[in-house]
Amino acid sequence: MVPLPPLFAAPPTVYAVGGAYVVCVPVTAECTMWVECAGTVSYDHANGILRSGRPVHLASVPRGVLDSARSYSVHLRPIVERKPYFTETGEVQSFETAFRPVEPRDGVLRLLNVPDTHSFVDGAVSAAERLGRTPDMLVLCGDIPEDCGSAERMTVPHLIAGRITGGEYPAVFARGNHDLRGVYAEQYADLTPTEGGRSYHEFRLGPVWGLVLDTGEDKRDDCREYGWTVCCEAFREEEERWLRETLARGAPADAKFRLVACHNPFAFRIHPPFDIEGPRWTRWCAMLAPLGFQAMVTGHLHECWLEAPGGEHDTYGAPCPVVCSSLLDRDAGTYTCGWVEIGEDGAVAVEFVDQDGKIRGREALPAPSAREP
């Protein structure tokens, strides 16, 4: 890999959000940012003002343009002193890379599911690097920083995704409950790819159509831990209205792969005080079930398993096979994530990969037509 210019805290990440890509890069000092792709220039700006005083930059790039160009460059201009007149700037620093759109081979989508890193950046990056295989896409599946109590912590998802992908293939980010904690969590939409500020959205990646869902906090809003700073019940109600409208449109006809990414495997009722929203999860499962999703990738439980509907972790009627793939022991420096293979026919296979790239377990489900009733 070409050495990273010093303003880049990590290589960029190309996130899929709605019908677009959002190129995102964490930075080491104040700068402005723009992306060039096949003659199209996309800026990180606010109503024509190039944004600078931020640890993360984002610019939206048309998906078709980048998929055709298969390369792009990110540019950062350091700010020496930003003033109303005659702002002082430094030399532009640039990073250029090839890009590979999602084009699954042999009818199989290969993805790396990385949940519950809880700020253990090196463990997650090491698992991906030492595994020695490149997936079609990365899923950052929530609880990526331990909390959002500082601006630096908001860069953790982009440090991990940038270092794993090198900016060369796409990612999606599903928020977890720890991503809601700390004063910077309210700036999520400013420092993380979202659709119009929403943390839940659809995405398209070639033949893949997916939903990123967000179950918010994992206990009731009046839990003392939150100190009256969350309204996740209202948030989930808004999300449910969006989900109903989105699913009413049906899956795109050309979506060979249908995927849900959600931190919380919400079909499973956890013990109190985490046993919230049972009726809502029952409704969400029932709404999702007819759409033919081949898999839901999750984390949250810090466990590793793959289950068909009706499995041990299915309380509310799981709409499709569910993958949970995270184990973390920060004291021991160990972390496990999931290499997931999803067939067009609905067969699902998972390998649980540790920080040394070793396979700690394998599970597989045949296509639905071949499963036990």
* Cα–chain center distance at 267: 20
Cα–Cα distance measured from residue 220 to residue 217, given in angstroms and rounded to the nearest whole number = 8
What are 228's two structure tokens?
């009256």
Given the complex with Fe ion, which of 24 and 141 has the nearer CB atom? Answer: 141
Given the complex with Fe ion, which of 110 and 118 has the nearer CB atom? Answer: 118
Binders of Fe ion: how many residues, by CB under 5 A? 2
Q: Smallest distance, Å, CB 140 to Fe ion?
A: 12
25-84 positions binding Fe ion, by CB under 5 A: none
**DSSP SS3 for 94:** strand
Q: Smallest distance, Å, CB 300 to Fe ion?
A: 6
Cα–Cα distance measured from residue 322 to residue 348, given in angstroms and rounded to the nearest whole number = 9
Given the complex with Fe ion, which of 12 and 176 has the nearer CB atom? Answer: 176
Given the complex with Fe ion, which of 114 and 255 has the nearer CB atom? Answer: 114
Query: What mask, x for binding Fe ion by CB under 5 A, covers residues 288 to 327?
Result: ----------------------------------------
In this structure, what DSSP letter does residue 308 have?
A: -
Q: Smallest distance, Å, CB 178 to Fe ion?
A: 6
Q: Smallest distance, Å, CB 282 to Fe ion?
A: 24
Given the complex with Fe ion, which of 116 and 314 has the nearer CB atom? Answer: 116
Cα–Cα distance measured from residue 282 to residue 43, given in angstroms and rounded to the nearest whole number = 42
Q: Which stretch binds Fe ion (CB under 5 A): 53-61, 80-88, 140-148, 329-337?
A: 140-148
Phi, psi of 337 (to 5 degrees): -125, -170
147 scored as a contact of Fe ion (CB under 5 A): no
Cα–Cα distance measured from residue 103 to residue 112, given in angstroms and rounded to the nearest whole number = 15
Cα–Cα distance measured from residue 226 to residue 228, given in angstroms and rounded to the nearest whole number = 6
Q: Smallest distance, Å, CB 73 to Fe ion?
A: 35
CB distance 140 to 174 below 8 Å: yes
Query: What mask, x for binding Fe ion by CB under 5 A, covers residues 91 to 120?
Result: -------------------------x----
354 scored as a contact of Fe ion (CB under 5 A): no
CB distance 84 to 91 below 8 Å: no
Q: Smallest distance, Å, CB 302 to Fe ion?
A: 6
Given the complex with Fe ion, which of 116 and 195 has the nearer CB atom? Answer: 116
* Amino acid at the residue 51: R
Q: Smallest distance, Å, CB 15 to Fe ion?
A: 20
217 scored as a contact of Fe ion (CB under 5 A): no
What are 14's two structure tokens?
């190309």
**Contact residues for 234 (Cβ-Cβ < 8 A; gap 6+):** none
Which residue in the set 143, 202, 217, 341 belongs to the binding site for Fe ion (CB under 5 A)?
A: 143
341 scored as a contact of Fe ion (CB under 5 A): no
218 scored as a contact of Fe ion (CB under 5 A): no
Measured over the CA atoms of residue 75, residue 77, residue 83 and residue 86, the dihedral's sign is negative
- Residue reference for tokens 């460059």: 73
Is residue 91 classed exposed, middle or buried when 0-12, 13-18 and 19+ CB atoms within 10 A define those classes? exposed
Measured over the CA atoms of residue 264, residue 269, residue 273 and residue 276, the dihedral's sign is positive
Given the complex with Fe ion, which of 170 and 216 has the nearer CB atom? Answer: 216
What are 56's two structure tokens?
């993360």
Three-point CA angle 46, 52, 54, nearest 5°: 100
Q: Smallest distance, Å, CB 303 to Fe ion?
A: 11
Given the complex with Fe ion, which of 64 and 333 has the nearer CB atom? Answer: 333
Given the complex with Fe ion, which of 23 and 141 has the nearer CB atom? Answer: 141
Q: Smallest distance, Å, CB 334 to Fe ion?
A: 14
Cα–Cα distance measured from residue 353 to residue 338, given in angstroms and rounded to the nearest whole number = 6
Closest chain position to Fe ion (CB): 143
Q: Which stretch binds Fe ion (CB under 5 A): 142-150, 180-188, 279-287, 351-359?
A: 142-150
Provide the binding-site residues for Fe ion, judged by CB under 5 A.
116, 143
